[in-house]
Homo-oligomer: A and B are copies of this chain.
Amino acid sequence: MEESDRYKVLPVEGYTPGIGVVVRMMDLVRSRTLRAVEGLTTEQIDYLHDTESNSIGALLAHMAAVEVVHSIRSFEDRAPTADEWERLKTPLGLGEAARREIRGKLLEYYLDELTAVRERTKAQLRTKDDAWLLEERDYVDGQRANNYYIWFHVPEDETNHRGQISWLRKRLSA
């Protein structure tokens, strides 16, 4: 994407048009997430604002886990297995377990995970077409979701937590 296209939503090449627009929105959201955490140290990533707060690292791990669980629903049309839930439950659930377990890592650890998950997502999306966006999957609350919703929601949830990351970053004591 050219610098002059920074404020343009255009279908990304290599995908069908509707999927290309979704990918563009995901890329835009990600670029802002990366800017929001640029240069943070491990101490800053682990900062807990209060006893109920999530760290920036936990929020980054959450973003990757949300994309993994939605990928399983969308691309494999199934619920996560018990093993997958076990691996995902802490970053998905955040809170006390995440405060205890998700810490001590460099920023690159979280960014590498986000990038690896996103590359797998994009590889899958390149094999789909716009009609696939309307296919439905079992989702939460006994409801059905279509693939369009799933890939709208992944960057939506990321944006929601990026707002919290920006808030926390302004209050880092370090």
Contact = CB atoms under 8 A, between A and B. Distances in A.
A171 B9 contact: no
Contacts of A29: 156
A86 to B, nearest CB: 25
A12 to B, nearest CB: 13
A170 B4 CA distance: 40
Nearest to A158: B159
Interface size grouping (class) on chain A: 35 or more
A9 B164 contact: no
Contacts of A144: 4, 7-8
Nearest to A150: B7
User: What is the oligomeric copy number?
Assistant: 2
A153 B134 CA distance: 23
6 contacts: A4-B144, A7-B139, A8-B148, A9-B146, A160-B162, A160-B163
Contact of A160 (B134, B143, B152, B159): B159
A103 to B, nearest CB: 20
A173 to B, nearest CB: 12
Interface string A1-40: 0001011111000000000010001001100000000000
A115 to B, nearest CB: 21
